[in-house]
Structure 1
Amino acid sequence: MCSNHESMRGVSVMEGDSVTLYTDLTEIHEEDDILWKYGAEKSLLAKISKMKQSFNTSDGPDGRFRDRLKLDHQTGSLTITNTRTEHGGVYQLDIKGVKLTTKTFTVSVYARLPVPVISRDCSSSSNCSLLCSAVNVGHVTLSWYKGNSLLSSISVSDLSISLSLPLEVEYQDKNTYSCVLNNPISNQTQHLDITHLCHTCAESSSHSSISAAVGSLLIVAAVFGIFCISMKCRKTDQEVIHTSELEMFSSSSMQNTRSRIQIQGVETGKFRDQGLETDTVQTRAEEITYAEPAFHKRKAQNPKIKEEDQVEDQVEDQVEYAPVAIRR
C-alpha cells in the first residue's frame, strides 16, 4: 500500500463559531476507513468504516469535544461546533483504502475582539495625549492610523493580556485618526474625535471643583446640624433638671405643711377635751382629704405674737386651703 502525505493546512475560526475540516472526497469508497486524530498524542476523535456502515465519534481524552463533533456520512469531513480556544491545535486525517492518505490541519481559535477604548491622558498639559487600550485579549495587534497610514502598532501572542498604545496630537489637528485592534480573521476600529476628547480634561477639572465646593457645603451643614442638636439636648436636660428641682421643693413643702396641720389638730383636740380629762387626750380617727396647696410669699412676722400664733400664721401664710371633706 502506497502512502501520500499532504502538507499542513492552517484553519482559523472565531470562538463560538463552527469549523469544518474537509477530506476532499466526493464520497467514501466501500473499502475506505477514515480516522480523525487530535493533538501530539494523536487521540482518536472519530472513526468511519464504510463497509461496516459505522460512524463513531468520541469526547476526546479530557471530554473537551463532548457534543461538539459531527461527521459527514458522504465525504467523511469533520465539523467542530461551538468552538473554544481549547479546541485549537493539530488534527490529523488518515484515509486507509487502496492507498494511505494523511492530511494535517492546524486549527486556530480566536476570541471575539472588543472595541478598543480611546482615553485622554490628563497628566500631560502640552499637547493632547491619548491612549488606546484593550483588555483581556490574545494573539492580536493594536495600531494607530492617521487616515490610511500606519503610525504605530504593538502585537501580543499571549492570552488574556491588556494592551495600550499612546498617541500625541495637537489640539487644532484636523486629520483623521483611528485605533484598530485586529487578529488574523477579524478587527475592531475606534475613531478619534479630537474636538470632543481633547477638551475633556478641562471639563473634568471644572466638574471636580464644583463637586469639591458642594462637598464642603454639605460638611458645613452637617456640622451645624450636629451643633444645633447638641445645644437643643443641653437645653432640654437643663429644663428637666429645673423641673425636677421644682417638684422636689413642692413635695418637701407639702410634707412640711401636712406635718404642721397634724400637730395643730392634735393640740386643738387636747385643749377641747381638757375639761373632761386632765391627763388623757382623746382623738378620733378622721379621714381628711386636702386639695393641692397653693404657695404664697411669706409675710413679715411680728416678734410680739405668741409662739402658738406664729405656727398658725406661718401655715396660713404658706397654704391656701381648698374645701376639706371629713369622713367619720
Structure 2
Amino acid sequence: MMAVLTIGIRLAAVLTGFLVLPLLVGQLEHKAMAHMQARLGPMEAGRFHGWAQLVADGVKFVQKEHVLPDRADRAMFSLAPALALLPYLVILVVIPLGPSLLGVDLDAGLLFVLAAMGVSVLGAVMAGWASGNKYAQLGGMRSAAQLMAYELPLVLVAGSVAMAAGTLSLPGIVAAWSLWWLGWQGIGAVVFFTAGLAELHRPPFDMPVADSEIIMGPYTEYTGLRFAFFLLAEYAGIVVLCALTATLFLGGWRGPYEQQLGWLWMLLKTFALSFVVIWMRATYPRLRADQLQQLAWKVLVPLALIQLAVTGVVRVVG
C-alpha cells in the first residue's frame, strides 16, 4: 500500500511540474524577448511587470471556437495535439530531479527518452497531413525531413554519453558524471542541444512553421485549445530538452550540498539552458530549408561521429 502511495505522490509531483514549468518558461520567453528587443508589450495584466498576461492568453484560447476543416481527417486532426504534448509528460517521469527525486528509474531510461522525443515530433507531421491544407502539408513534410536529419546526431551523441557512463540509466549517468566531462564531452553537448532545438522547431530551426512563408505550417488550421496544446508542447519540449541536456552533460543534480539541494541545482541548470533557447530566438535569423539539411548532414553528424570516436578512445585508454 505504501509503495502504491509513494508512486502516486511521485506521479502527482511530475504532473504538477509538467503543468507549471512550461508556463514559467513561456512567461520567461515573453519578458526576456521583450527586454532584448526593447518592445515591452502589454504590462497591465497583473500588478508586477504584466505577469498575468500569459494567463490572459490562456483564457483567450479557451474562448476561441474549435474549427474543423471539411477536408480534414477528423480523427487524426483531433489526436495530433495530444500526440505532440503527452510524450513530454511521459519523459518527465524518468528524468531525475534529485538523488531520490524521480518518478521511475528505468534501466534503459535514455533509450526510452529518445524514443518518446521522436514520437512527440510526429504530432506535427500528423497535423500537417490530416489538415487537408497545402500549407499545412508542406509544413508537415518539412517537419518529417527535419526529424530524419536531426534525429541521427541526437542519437549518436546520446550513445556517446551512455558509452562514457557505462549505463543507460539517467540517474546512473548523473552518478558517473565528473567535471572533466565538460572537456571531452563538450562537442557532444553542443550537438545534442542544437539537434534538440531543431527537433522542437525552435528558431533558428523553425522553417517547418515559418509564419511569414507557410502560415504556421502544420498548425495552420488549428484554433482554440488545440492550437494552445501545440504551443504548450513547444514549451514542454524546451523544458525536457534542457533538463535532459543538464542530466547528460552538466551533472544534473550534482553541486554543493547535492543531497539537500540537488533539486535546486537541476532547476537552475534547466532554466539557464532555457534562457539560452530564448536568447537564440531573439538573436539568430531563420535558416533556409537547404541550410538546415546541410547543417545536420555536413556538420552535426560528422561532429557526433568524432565525439563517439573520442569517447571510445578515452574509454579504452582509461
TM tier, shorter chain? under 0.3
Between Structure 1 and Structure 2, which shows a larger proportion of strand residues? Answer: 1
Structure 2 length as normaliser, TM-score?
0.19
Report the structure, 1 or 2, having the larger helix content. 2
Q: Could you say which structure has the greater relative contact order, defined with CA pairs below 8 angstroms and 6 or more residues apart?
A: 2
Task: Give TM-score, length-normalised by structure 1.
Answer: 0.18
Which of these two proteins has the greater Rg computed from alpha carbons? 1
